Amino acid sequence: MGEDIIAAMKENVIQGRKTEEDEGIDEELTGPGVLELTKEALDKGISPQVIITEGLTAGMQVVGEKFSTKEYFIPDMLASAEAVGAAMDVLKPHLEASNVETKGKFAIATVQGDIHDIGKNIVSILLKGAGYEVHDLGIDVPTEKIVEFVREEKPQYLGLSALLTTTMVVMGNVIKALEESGLRDKVKVLIGGAAVSDEYASEIGADAYCVDGFDAVKVLDAYQ
């Protein structure tokens, strides 16, 4: 039963159906949408981690691929993102722990030219729940703003997100700018997003590649 709910959730993310009243890309798809399925999954005792990784994130990865190949357009991508955002609002109380001593300061940004924020938002919520002080710099963030934040606020960790192959090159620009500013050795740089990989992290000199938010928690906790 749980697997059926998660599979349906993933498909509804891909279809961009936030609620059962919404039409998807496939107009014949009916039944509960992402929001109802998320609540049902919680009621059935399915963990938020499974809901996010196997349902929401897995669905958005497919959406990202379809957007990159121009099978999906911006309205399609935004419909899926809105559905996942609504689900994350439901999940947030289950993820955020209260009165947790901070494990360090973490800044996160979607790099310049990229407007995707679902993955970034998931990472932010999970890291807050794991006890990190998270500063979300937003989407389409200029490299200069990221470097300035590192200089002024001195976070121990910096997360860079990019969904598209056309914007992932900016991650390398950020690392180069940190080097030129004498700040590179003062911050651990983690990268993530559908377009990047372990190999790309090594290529641009990042400290780590994170598959998803839960992987980011593991990577950061290993630095403790």
Per-residue pLDDT tens digits for 107-140 = 999 999 999 888 888 888 778 766 688 899 999 9
Please report the pLDDT score of residue 123 as a whole number.
86
Please report the pLDDT score of residue 98 as a whole number.
39
Please report the pLDDT score of residue 136 as a whole number.
95
Distance between CA atoms of residues 122 and 13, nearest Å:
15
Q: What residues in the chain have per-residue pLDDT under 70? A: 1, 96-102, 129-131
* 8-state DSSP, 185: G
Please report the pLDDT score of residue 124 as a whole number.
84
Please report the pLDDT score of residue 154 as a whole number.
97
Q: Name the residue ranges covered by the structural domains of the chain.
A: 2-95, 105-222
Please report the pLDDT score of residue 125 as a whole number.
74
Please report the pLDDT score of residue 100 as a whole number.
40
Please report the pLDDT score of residue 195 as a whole number.
87
Contact 43, 22 (CB under 8 A): no
Contact 41, 53 (CB under 8 A): no
Q: Which residues pair with 110 in a beta bridge?
A: 161
Please report the pLDDT score of residue 131 as a whole number.
67
Residues 6+ apart with CB under 8 A from 78: none
How is domain 2-95 classified at the CATH fold level? Answer: 1.10.1240
DSSP letters of 87-116? HHHHHHHHHPPSSPPP--EEEEEEBTT---
Superfamily holding 105-222 = Cobalamin-binding domain (3.40.50.280)
Please report the pLDDT score of residue 96 as a whole number.
61
pTM for this model (two decimals): 0.64
